[in-house]
Amino acid sequence: MVQNMEVIRRSTGYGLRALVHMAVSSEGASFTAEELANAAETTLEFMHKILQDLRDAGIVASKRGPGGGFRLARERDEVTLLEVVEALQGALTVNRCVIGLELCHRSDACPLRPTWVKVQRDMERALADTTLADVVSAHTAGR
Check the CA dihedral 81-85-91-97 and report its sign.
Answer: negative
* Predicted local distance difference test score (pLDDT) of residue 83: 97
- Say whether 138 sits in a helix, a strand or coil: helix
Q: Supply the pLDDT for residue 92.
A: 83
pTM for the full predicted model: 0.85
Which residues lie across from 70 on neighbouring strands?
A: 31, 62
pLDDT of the residue at 107: 60
Residue-wise DSSP of 14-82: HHHHHHHHHHHSPTT--B-HHHHHHHHTS-HHHHHHHHHHHHHTTSEEEE-STT-EEEESS-GGG-BHH
> What is the chain's pLDDT, residue by residue, as a tens digit (143 residues)?
777 777 889 999 999 999 999 999 877 789 999 999 999 999 999 999 999 999 999 999 999 888 789 999 999 999 999 999 999 999 888 776 665 545 566 666 778 878 888 988 999 999 999 999 999 998 777 65
Class of domain 10-141: mainly alpha
Beta carbons within 10 angstroms of residue 101's beta carbon: 9
